[in-house]
Amino acid sequence: MFLAAAAAGLLVAGLALALLWAPEDADQGFSQRIFYVHVPIALTAYACFAWGAWKALRLLWIRDARYDLESYTAVHMGVIFGVLTLVTGSIWAKISWGVWWTWSERQLVLFLVLFLFYCAYFMLRFSVESGPRRANLSAVYALFGVALIPVSFLAIRLAENFIHPVVFTRDGPQMSGSMLFVFSVCLAAMLALFASLYANELAGKRLDARLRELREALE
Amino acid sequence: MTTSEKYVTAAYLVVLAVVLLYVVLYAFKLARLEREVAELAELARRRKAA
Amino acid sequence: MTYFADVAALARKDLLLELRSRDTLPAMLLFVVSALVVFHFALPSDASATASTGLLWIALLFTALLGLARAFVAEREQRVLDGLVLAPCDRSAIWLAKALGVLAFLGIAELVALPAYHVFFAPVGWELVAALALADLGLAAVGTLLAAMAAASRARELLLPLLFLPLVIPVVVGGVGATVADDPGRYLAFLGLYDVIFVILSWASFEYVVSE
């Protein structure tokens, strides 16, 4: 409850600050304000995947079955935030460069790879009987995910050199103090949103699993 | 509204829409769980009566 | 030392089985040559040599997939894996033996594919051979682990490419980069880094994939 309230409050504050109060960017003008939603969401998606991998590691380590659902829920949230990153990034590309997709934007390409990778995670989960075997397989795959993130990032950097030279860059001048403040509020809002969605989704998934057990016991 | 303002608004609205979509899907899930609980309660009651 | 004796025994079993039944390797060889021929017709006649390098990597990736899809078929059909898991050997030895088998098949497929590529498309340089050697290591390591995962699922062969392709995008980047860029060293180093990370990760996590 507290988390949901905090998320709601921070989101409203972040939205208001980003759209009304934040200083206009010298280079990109108004369109720079998409930064306050796109980047916090991307960072939150990484946090989700890292959290899922951490829970996966705990599962393999301690062999406590409850970590399976926790890891699954975190990856589930990560995919939702990942899709949002792709969509908002695509809109930003459209504003800045007039195209919906550009292969020179590393973060976007990385999120596309991660999106494909974690969609396969769902395919894997849905095609294995539930039980300790599925928990182990999902956990190993989630761990591969966090190893893939830096390796892919490096790969995408390297690929730019031979696919085409870097023309566009978003690394403008350093953020000013007030921009950093707005950005922090937005990041906190997204993390709080993740935490409250995660708690809800986890409760729902646990309830679902308990009900299934109950049905098996009764029938 | 300039084009860039339109796109920025669109980006924020997309985020809102996805969160709302999540809430709607969650509501469906909750309704299903509620129905299942009712079914199981009925099952348990009948078992007790028998 | 018993660890390596176990690995050798398991790898010999796989190779003997393949020598007797001959279902995987001939299919891989035929596939890689057919794919190269198809790619010749898919490329416009004025395409550059760089484009054909990319296609070579795609052909090899799919040949690897073909071999990997067959890697655990015998075990699954005869339920050998359950027996192997109960056997008094380290489970990662099963992975290492399988990965070595896959590596050998891939190597043989490339012994056919590279001369064919040399004749059909463009001359083969040392960078390509070095990149292939490094890439094979990573493909075999990751692929064997994912093939064991896919074998445990209902979807089986259908699932393997979905799990495999996103994970090997860095291998394609490193491989193609080493072949077409001016400074192959960076890309070869990257492939080596990929191998180190994913060989260790696959070796350490295989136990959890086959046991409960």
Q: Do C and B have ≥3 inter-chain CB pairs under 8 A?
A: no
Q: Report the pLDDT averaged over residues C52-57.
A: 87
- Residue A74's pLDDT is 93
- Give ∠ CA B19-B25-B29 in degrees, rounded to 5: 140
Q: Which two tokens stand for residue B33?
A: 């769980």
C174 touches chain A (CB under 8 A): yes
Question: Residue C193 pLDDT > 60, yes or no?
Answer: yes
Put simply, the answer to whether A120 touches C166 (Cβ < 8 Å) is yes
Q: Report the pLDDT averaged over residues B18-47.
A: 90
A8 touches chain B (CB under 8 A): no
C186 touches chain A (CB under 8 A): yes
Chain position carrying tokens 């589930």: A76
Q: Which two tokens stand for residue A78?
A: 């990560």
In a 10 Å sphere around its CB, with 0-12 CB exposed, 13-18 middle and 19+ buried, how is residue A102 labelled?
Answer: middle
ipTM of the complex: 0.87
Between A and C, how many residue pairs show a Cβ–Cβ distance under 8 A?
A: 93
Q: Report the pLDDT averaged over residues C31-49.
A: 84
pTM (2 d.p.): 0.87
- Residue A166's pLDDT is 46
Residues in chain A closer than 8 A to C159 (CB atoms): 120, 123-124, 127
Q: Do A and C have ≥3 inter-chain CB pairs under 8 A?
A: yes
What is chain A written as a DSSP string?
A: -HHHHHHHHHHHHHHHIIIIISPPBTTTBGGGGGHHHHHHHHHHHHHHHHHHHHHHHHHHHH--THHHHHHHHHHHHHHHHHHHHHHHHHHHHHHHHS-S--TT-HHHHHHHHHHHHHHHHHHHHHTS-SSHHHHHHHHHHHHHHHHHHHHHHHHHHHHHHHH---------SPPPHHHHHHHHHHHHHHHHHHHHHHHHHHHHHHHHHHHHHHHHHH-
Contacts of C164 (CB under 8 A, 6+ apart): C65, C68, C142, C143, C146
Gap between the Cα atoms of C192 and A151, Å rounded: 12
Q: Which two tokens stand for residue A102?
A: 């550009």
Chain position carrying tokens 């950093």: A180
User: Least CA distance to A119: which residue of chain C?
Assistant: C162
Gap between the Cα atoms of C152 and A127, Å rounded: 9
Gap between the Cα atoms of A103 and A90, Å rounded: 11
Contacts of C65 (CB under 8 A, 6+ apart): C143, C160, C161, C164
- Residue C34's pLDDT is 92
Put simply, the answer to whether B4 touches A30 (Cβ < 8 Å) is yes
Spatial CA neighbour of A143 closest among A71, A210, A39: A71
In the Cβ-directed half-sphere of C187, how many Cα atoms lie within 13 Å? 28
Closest CB from A201, A204, A218 relative to B44: A218
- Give ∠ CA A149-A153-C95 in degrees, rounded to 5: 50
Q: What tens-digit pLDDT sequence spans chain A (219 residues)?
A: 787 888 778 887 777 777 777 776 666 667 777 788 888 898 999 999 999 999 999 988 888 888 888 999 999 999 999 999 999 888 888 887 778 887 777 788 888 999 999 999 999 998 888 888 888 899 999 999 999 988 988 888 887 766 544 444 555 545 677 777 888 888 888 888 898 889 888 988 899 888 888 888 887
Gap between the Cα atoms of A173 and A28, Å rounded: 11
- pLDDT tens, residue by residue, C110-146: 999 999 888 888 888 888 888 999 999 999 999 999 9
Question: Residue C107 pLDDT > 80, yes or no?
Answer: yes
Contacts of A96 (CB under 8 A, 6+ apart): A28, A31, A168, A170
Gap between the Cα atoms of C87 and C5, Å rounded: 14
Sign of CA dihedral C48, C50, C51, C53: positive
B24 touches chain A (CB under 8 A): no
Count, residues in chain C: 212
Identify from A128, A140, A154 which residue to disrupt to test chain C contact, counting C C-beta atoms within 10 A and taking the largest count.
A140
Q: Is A158 in contact with C173 (CB distance < 8 Å)?
A: yes
A113 touches chain C (CB under 8 A): yes
- Residue C165's pLDDT is 93
Q: Do B and A have ≥3 inter-chain CB pairs under 8 A?
A: yes
A71 touches chain B (CB under 8 A): no
Question: CA A66 → CA A48, A56, A134, distances in Å?
Answer: 17, 10, 13
Ramachandran sector of residue A29 (left: φ over 0; alpha: ψ -120 to 50; beta: rest): left
- Residue A143's pLDDT is 92
Q: Which two tokens stand for residue A77?
A: 């949230």
Q: Which two tokens stand for residue C16?
A: 């003997």
Residue A56 or residue C22, greater confidence = A56
Residue C85: strand, helix, or coil: helix
